């Protein structure tokens, strides 16, 4: 049975329709699943946390390759499907809940403590488009003991996540991801690979967690605040954006600081490298 027929069979059997409120689009392309799992380099040394497994099409492949798969699912209908479908697997665990509210750190620490041998924790997910950014930000800002994140998300968002700061697709989140990860594109996925077909193209990316950030930042909170404020009014110059958001107390103060950084008064946020923002935040700390 091909994946499309299998998906339709499961939907009929459990009386399931894709939940638009949860951003559900069921993946029906087996090759895409193989490419996702291959790119994550899943092995018997890995515990995989799969976010939003849905009907379990990718879960099946993960269970065959990983030491253990922990699925986090918010849809009660999917909980029934998954629990019945994978009941025979002794390396399967299912958690009902919202990944944004679940204590992932405790789950990861528990898995690490169970093993005498070193294991890797990897995140794999086909994320709903509407909640991609909050999930990615939680995974990174929580500084979890994980090795990598492999996700399929909307192409436009993916390109911002893996862009090098200062590139054409740069956004505020670009700097955050680059600070914590090394990212790469795996492949694009056409809308025909899903039912129902979304209105956008998807993209699979790998985010490999860095051992050390690429820049020295004295205060991460201030560093990320300056970046966020700079991009809140990205059509304005960096100077005006940071004055308007009260990062700089006055235009005169801002001009002075930019001069110390050898940055022109008319520079815009997207022109700055991550090192520029690091230098700016570190200098700013000295002045407060």
Whole-number Å distance between alpha carbons of 198 and 155: 12
> Does one domain contain both 96 and 204?
yes
Measured CA to CA in angstroms, residue 110 lies from 60, 68, 72, 121, 222 at distances of: 23, 13, 16, 11, 32
For residues 140 and 275, what is the distance between their CA atoms, to the nearest angstrom?
19
What pLDDT, on a 0 to 100 scale, did the predictor assign at position 94? 98
The pLDDT, as a whole number, for residue 18 is 84
Q: 81 and 13 share a domain?
A: yes
Prediction pTM value? 0.93
Q: Are residues 256 and 169 in the same domain?
A: no
Domain boundary among 177, 209, 241: 209
The string of DSSP codes covering 122-170 is: EEEEE--GGGHHHHHHHHHHTT-S-SEEEEEEEHHHHHHHSSPTTSTT-
**29 plus 161 within the same structural domain:** yes
Provide the residue range defining the domain that includes 172. 3-209
Same domain, 225 and 202: no
Specify the 3-state DSSP secondary structure of 19: coil
Taking residue 7's Cβ as centre, other Cβ atoms within 10 Å add up to 20
Give me the residues of the chain with pLDDT under 70, please: 115-118, 287-288
Q: Which residues pair with 122 in a beta bridge?
A: 48, 148
Distances 2 to 111, 237, 284 between C-alpha atoms, Å: 34, 54, 58
Q: 190 and 239: one domain?
A: no
Report the distance separating Cα 32 and Cα 192, nearest Å. 12
Same domain, 46 and 171: yes
Q: What is the CATH number of the domain that holds 279?
A: 1.10.8.100
Please, are residues 124 and 48 in contact by the beta-carbon 8 Å criterion? yes
Q: Are 65 and 122 in contact (CB under 8 A)?
A: no
pLDDT of res. 114: 81
Q: What confidence score (pLDDT) does residue 285 get?
A: 79
Report yes or no on 214 lying in a domain. Answer: no
Of 209, 237, 268, which marks where a domain is finished? 209
Same domain for 265 and 124?
Answer: no
In a domain, 113, yes or no: yes
């Amino acid at each position: 049975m091909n994946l499309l027929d299998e998906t339709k069979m499961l939907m009929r059997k459990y009386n399931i329709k894709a939940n638009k409120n949860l951003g559900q689009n069921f993946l029906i392309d087996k090759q895409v699943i193989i490419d996702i799992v291959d790119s994550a380099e899943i092995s018997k040394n890995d515990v995989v946390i799969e976010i939003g497994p849905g009907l379990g099409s990718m879960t099946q492949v993960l269970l065959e390759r990983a030491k253990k798969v922990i699925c986090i699912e918010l849809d009660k209908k999917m909980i029934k499907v998954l629990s019945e479908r994978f009941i025979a697997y002794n390396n399967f665990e299912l958690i009902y809940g919202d990944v944004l509210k679940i204590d992932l750190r405790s789950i990861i620490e528990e898995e690490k403590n169970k093993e005498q041998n070193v294991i890797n924790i990897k995140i794999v997910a086909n994320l709903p488009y509407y909640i991609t950014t909050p999930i990615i930000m939680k995974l990174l800002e929580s500084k979890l003991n994980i090795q990598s994140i492999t996700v399929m998300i909307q192409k436009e968002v993916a390109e911002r996540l893996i862009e090098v700061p200062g590139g054409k697709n740069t956004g505020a989140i670009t700097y955050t991801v680059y600070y914590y990860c090394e990212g790469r594109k795996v492949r694009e996925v056409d809308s025909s690979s899903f039912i129902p077909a979304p209105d956008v193209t998807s993209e699979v990316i790998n985010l490999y967690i860095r051992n050390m950030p690429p820049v020295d930042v004295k205060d991460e909170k201030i560093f990320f605040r300056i970046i966020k404020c700079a991009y809140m009014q990205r059509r304005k110059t960096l100077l005006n954006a940071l004055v308007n958001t009260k990062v700089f107390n006055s235009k005169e103060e801002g001009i002075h600081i930019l001069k110390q950084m050898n940055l022109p008064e008319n520079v815009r946020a997207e022109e700055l490298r991550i090192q520029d923002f690091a230098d700016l935040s570190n200098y700013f700390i000295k002045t407060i």
